């Protein structure tokens, strides 16, 4: 019962924290109503309705209190108030019982009735003056097909037919709070199990059928990520980076479909302008997991794969293995042999010796196996021309990140056998340096003559060569 009351109270705080501030039109209308003559009963009714709506001060106080709770409570105790997908795609959603004894409590049912946390921060989820609880995102009853979910996603379109923004203008603080819970959960999981991922975040991704298959539909969190990256303020862009980092860490487990995630991210980053792409790569933290993901992302964006992202993905059912304990220092995968004509295809991350139980088995450490490329693959990708003459700067950005992160992984491999056999030879005979210089020379000749493009190429070239000189 304590959990029920706590969840209800946190949901009410979320509703107040998400309540939109009054627009200029609302303020003008409120002032006009004060001047409009009317009977005492109508005046009292208007004042009563106005007093039920959270004020901007109440909204700010709720946002502040949520963050204080996040610092003093466990993430799991607070996340129980967030909507989440069931572990089984066919299981009915358990909305639980609650005491809706006030206007705010009844309105907060919107949060409980949502499918996931991404819905509650979406534009238009909570609107001023709308007291119809049943107009909120739907209660889930019994089975829900993917087709039904897609149809539900279209319900939230605005009056002009435009899709609502993934994050409402006044929901950024709630997104910050949600990410704080995920990050705390991720850190707690690593301390307990030495596996770096958030179980709470995993529950915000729709389960696959059968439930033992990896989860793959991450459209909604990726919508949030790239919407945040489009914002002008650094505080909002940083939220996108934090969420993307959490998702990348999640892909190092067998719980999600790595090739599907890679396809989705690659399709989005390939359309980013070069300044946004450079910001994204620079803002991601320097970890081995992130470096490995960058290598695979750049490889994918440069066309070094056999996957086809044009058709709708249909992931095959695979047994979902729980990750085993691993050492703090992650070891890289054995480099794929690869051919000079085409880099080796992508495979999903797996873990050696992973059990099928619900908990992480102790006693032995498992080695993470991730997709990898060889030095010969790297040289092929560096020499591959751009698929489109237009995004030459984007191609240079991808190739630069590919070289830097591949080199980082090689240098940080504690065991010599984990390094690619041709890595040291490519450094000593100058083949890697020549390939890098060719990238920038071709880019310099193909790019427009504007000063910004020339300066970007020169800066990246000098930075890459300076880094390589330390290898």
What is the spatial distance between Cα 440 and Cα 373, in angstroms, rounded to a whole number?
22
Least confident among 104-118, 331-345, 400-414: 331-345
Instruction: Tell whether the model's pLDDT for residue 280 goes beyond 80.
Output: yes
pLDDT at site 6: 80
Range scoring the smallest mean pLDDT among 182-186, 288-292, 329-333, 392-396: 329-333
Q: Using CA atoms, how far apart are residues 83 and 293, in angstroms rounded to an integer?
A: 29
pLDDT of residue 193: 86
Does the pLDDT of residue 468 top 80, yes or no? yes
How would residue 61 be classed by pLDDT, with cut points 50, 70 and 90?
Answer: very high
User: Which of 204, 395, 224, 391 minimizes the C-alpha distance to 299?
Assistant: 395
- Higher-pLDDT residue of 91, 354: 91
CA distances 61 to 12, 24, 365, Å, are 12, 22, 46
Residue range 429-433: average pLDDT? 94
Which tens digits make up the pLDDT trace of 155-194? 455 545 688 999 999 999 999 999 999 999 999 999 998 8
Q: Which residues are CB-contacts of 206 (< 8 A; sequence separation ≥ 6)?
A: 85, 89, 116, 149, 215, 217
Q: Which H/E stretch holds residue 185?
A: helix 172-193
The arithmetic mean of pLDDT across residues 268-286, rounded, is: 94
- Contact indicator for 126, 19 with CB cutoff of 8 Å: yes
Q: Which carries the bigger pLDDT value, residue 365 or residue 50?
A: 50
Residue 264 has pLDDT above 90, yes or no: yes
R_g (Cα) of the chain, nearest Å? 25
Higher pLDDT, 216 or 92: 216
pLDDT given at position 76: 93
pLDDT at residue 233 above 90? yes
First to last CA, the chain: 59
Using left for φ > 0, alpha for ψ between -120 and 50, and beta otherwise, residue 172 falls in alpha
pLDDT at 420: 85
Burial of 6 (0-12, 13-18, 19+ CB in 10 A): middle
Taking residues 333-349, what's their average pLDDT? 39
Higher pLDDT, 212 or 245: 245
**How sure is the predictor about 91, in pLDDT bands with cuts at 50, 70 and 90?**
low
**Measured between alpha carbons, how far is residue 1 from residues 10, 96, 99 in Å?**
14, 11, 11
Average pLDDT value for residue range 55-66: 95
Task: Calculate the alpha carbon distances from 457 to 274, 385, 440, 448 in Å.
Answer: 11, 16, 7, 11
Residue 381 has pLDDT above 90, yes or no: yes
Read off the pLDDT band of 42 (50, 70, 90): low
3: pLDDT confidence band, cut at 50, 70 and 90? low
Q: Is the pLDDT of residue 446 over 80?
A: no
Residue 454 confidence (pLDDT)? 83
Q: Which of 113-127, 228-242, 323-337 has the lowest mean pLDDT?
A: 323-337
pLDDT at 141 (0 to 100): 39
**DSSP label at 365?**
B
Q: Is the pLDDT of residue 373 over 80?
A: yes
Nearest Cα to Cα of residue 295 among 221, 381, 209: 381
Would you state the pLDDT for residue 34? 57
Domain locations in the chain as residue ranges = 2-86+94-139, 339-471
- pLDDT at 351 (0 to 100): 42
pLDDT at 102: 78
pLDDT of residue 118: 98
Residue 85 has pLDDT above 90, yes or no: yes
- Read off the pTM: 0.77
């Amino acid at each position: 019962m304590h959990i029920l009351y706590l969840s209800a109270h946190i949901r009410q705080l979320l509703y107040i924290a998400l309540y939109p501030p009054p627009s200029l039109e609302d303020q003008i209308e409120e002032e006009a109503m004060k001047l409009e003559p009317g009977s005492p009963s109508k005046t009292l009714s208007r004042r009563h309705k106005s007093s039920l709506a959270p004020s901007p001060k109440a909204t700010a106080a709720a946002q502040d209190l949520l963050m204080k709770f996040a610092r003093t409570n466990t993430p799991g105790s607070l996340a129980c108030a967030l909507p989440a997908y069931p572990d089984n795609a066919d299981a009915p959603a358990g909305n639980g019982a609650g005491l809706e004894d006030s206007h705010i409590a009844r309105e907060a049912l919107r949060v409980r009735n949502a499918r996931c946390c991404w819905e509650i921060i979406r534009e238009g989820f909570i609107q001023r003056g709308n007291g119809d609880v049943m107009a909120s995102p739907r209660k889930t009853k019994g089975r829900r097909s993917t087709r039904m979910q897609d149809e539900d996603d279209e319900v939230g379109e605005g009056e002009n037919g435009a899709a609502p923004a993934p994050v409402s203008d006044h929901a950024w603080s709630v997104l910050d709070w949600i990410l704080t819970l995920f990050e705390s959960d991720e850190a707690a999981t690593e301390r307990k199990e030495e596996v770096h991922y958030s179980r709470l975040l995993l529950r915000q991704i729709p389960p696959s059928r059968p439930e033992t298959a990896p989860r793959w539909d991450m459209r909604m969190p990726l919508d949030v990520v790239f919407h945040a990256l489009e914002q002008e303020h650094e505080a909002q862009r940083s939220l996108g980076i934090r969420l993307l980092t959490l998702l990348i860490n999640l892909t190092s487990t067998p719980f999600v479909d790595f090739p599907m995630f890679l396809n989705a991210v690659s399709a989005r980053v390939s359309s980013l302008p070069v300044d946004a792409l450079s910001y994204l790569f620079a803002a991601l933290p320097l970890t081995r997991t992130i470096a490995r993901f960058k290598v695979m992302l750049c490889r994918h964006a440069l066309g070094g794969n056999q996957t086809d992202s044009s058709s709708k993905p249909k992931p095959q059912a695979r047994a979902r293995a729980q990750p085993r304990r691993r050492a703090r220092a992650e070891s890289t995968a054995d480099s794929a042999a690869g051919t000079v004509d085409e880099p080796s295809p992508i495979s999903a991350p797996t873990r050696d010796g992973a059990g099928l139980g619900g908990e992480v088995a102790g006693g032995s450490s498992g080695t993470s196996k991730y997709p990898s490329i060889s030095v010969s693959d790297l040289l092929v990708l560096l020499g591959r021309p751009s698929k489109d003459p237009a995004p030459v700067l984007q191609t240079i950005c991808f190739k630069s990140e590919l070289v830097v992160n591949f080199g980082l992984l090689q240098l940080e491999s504690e065991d010599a056998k984990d390094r690619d056999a041709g890595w040291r030879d490519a450094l000593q005979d100058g083949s890697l340096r020549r390939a890098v210089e060719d990238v920038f020379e071709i880019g310099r000749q193909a790019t427009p003559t504007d000063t910004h493009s020339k300066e970007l190429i020169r800066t990246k070239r000098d930075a890459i060569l300076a880094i390589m000189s330390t290898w």
